[in-house]
Amino acid sequence: VPSMLRRVAKQLAAASVAARPGGAPSARTFTSSSARATTVLCVRKDGDVVLMADGQVTLGSQVVKPNVKKVRRLQAGVIGGFAGATADAFTLFERLEMKLDEHPGQLTRAAVELAKAWRNDKYLRRLEATMVVADAEHIFQITGGGDVIEPHEGIVGIGSGGPFATAAARALMDVPGMSAADICRKAMTIAADTCVYTNHNFVTETIGPDDAKHEGETKDKDAETKDKKKDKK
């Protein structure tokens, strides 16, 4: 009986593969398990942008590392964080940095171009991660489905504890005297107390008014360079 069941299982598997276009295995999809094991929160308030993430990595029911860095500074005035597979996320960060080099000072265009490539490229579409990127003016959540979402309240949270952190940050936004960093830390603490896949080892990247000023000067210089090239032509 066991041998007969194994033969039936193999036949069913072969029939399933043959039924797919070209008989090829289906591409990986972004599953709920890929979104777990982290909380990343980004808050913009009074000219400050704060991106904060916990440090826990979970494999099944086991905590394998408590202090992973899930946020980074991509360029001057641009920061990013991720939830999902680490190698996939760093590959996507590299692609975003390339897009930013092609479109300096234009995070919106770079994010859209990355989302297009992520959805259409047969290799990139297999990458499992969700990203949050921000500059002084914009915050974007980018997914492999081609989504580029800009929150209207200046708050975005991703990962298993993202909904908890987002809800807490929204409740704290109107509290007098609380800065973006204060809101982020309190909201992340609430998420860490609620979500089993999130710990209290927070890593932070910030963009302040000085970074925004520097970014504006960079955009002006890029525009002047383009104008000079046009005049020469």
Is the separation of the CB atoms in 192 and 39 below 8 Å? yes
Identify the CA nearest to 201 among candidates 209, 210, 192: 192
Note the residue count of the chain: 233
Nearest CA to 95 out of 71, 121, 76, 69 is that of 121
Let me know: does 60 contact 167? Beta carbons within 8 Å.
Answer: no
Catalytic residue IDs: 38
